[in-house]
Amino acid sequence: MSYLQSESPSDSLYRKAGPCLQTSLGKTQKKACHLLLEELQMDLQPFYMQIPSRPWILGSEIIHVISDKVENFSHYLCKVRDPVCQVLRAQTERMLIIEYVKALIHGKLVCKNSRERQLLAERMCADAEVLSATLSRMGLEQSTLCIPLILSLQELFALKDPSLLSLEVSGLMTMFPDIRFEIVGAENSVGMKQTNCLYNIITLPIPCKISDQSL
């Protein structure tokens, strides 16, 4: 005697609807994640606008405020299951550093001499330490892009010999393919000159997307 029963029409319908429902839930989750990151980005913008500035160079607490907000945001990410949680943390890291670099490059502060550029470079080193500690507490491993990018840029700003600028920029282009370096005909935000050509550094982030396989 067989106890096997034929599949009812309703069972077949639920089985077919399963993948569609999973896909819809995945898209909804990804959209919610992106909205969370956009909200954090907007929340941080008033603080990024203070970079660079004289108070920032002289040791304001701007970077600590930014780090605290990012760390508090990471607590919400703990409620999201892996691997999406880890992907969101990586996206948060990327957004944090890229917005920092964009603020730095496109700011209105002009360094008048090598001493002021050195102070700016030292401030960037200190900020990199704070951000690195914050990312570590968030459970992120050492990035090969974000913190090294800040440290490499500070070396560029700290150059005392303008003739080495072209060589340093070439090295950065090799190390960081996500960065594009353009020669422009106007003074850039840190007042660094090389003959009559000036380098304007423009960050071109490659979005770190949440793939369907991560959901």
Sequential DSSP letters for the chain: -----PPPHHHHHHHHHHHHHHHHHHHHHHHHHHHHHHHHHHHHHHHHTTSS-HHHHTT-SHHHHHHHHHHHHHHHHTTSPTTHHHHHHHHHHHHHHHHHHHHHHHSS----SHHHHHHHHHHHHHHHHHHHHHHHHTTPPPPSSHHHHHHHHHHHHT-S-GGGHHHHHHHHHHH-TTEEEEEESS--TT---BTTBEEEEEE--------GGG-
Residue 132 within any structural domain of the chain: yes
Residue 162 within any structural domain of the chain: yes
* Predicted confidence pLDDT, tens digits, the chain (215 residues): 444 445 555 555 445 555 677 677 667 777 777 788 888 889 999 999 998 888 898 888 899 999 999 988 888 777 777 777 777 888 888 888 888 888 887 777 777 777 888 888 899 999 999 998 888 888 776 666 678 888 888 887 777 776 777 777 777 777 776 655 543 333 344 444 332 323 343 333 333 333 334 43
pTM of the model as a whole:
0.69
Residue 1 within any structural domain of the chain: no
Which structural domain range is residue 196 located in? 27-214
Residue 129 within any structural domain of the chain: yes
Residue 156 within any structural domain of the chain: yes
Work out how many domains the chain is built from and give that number: 1
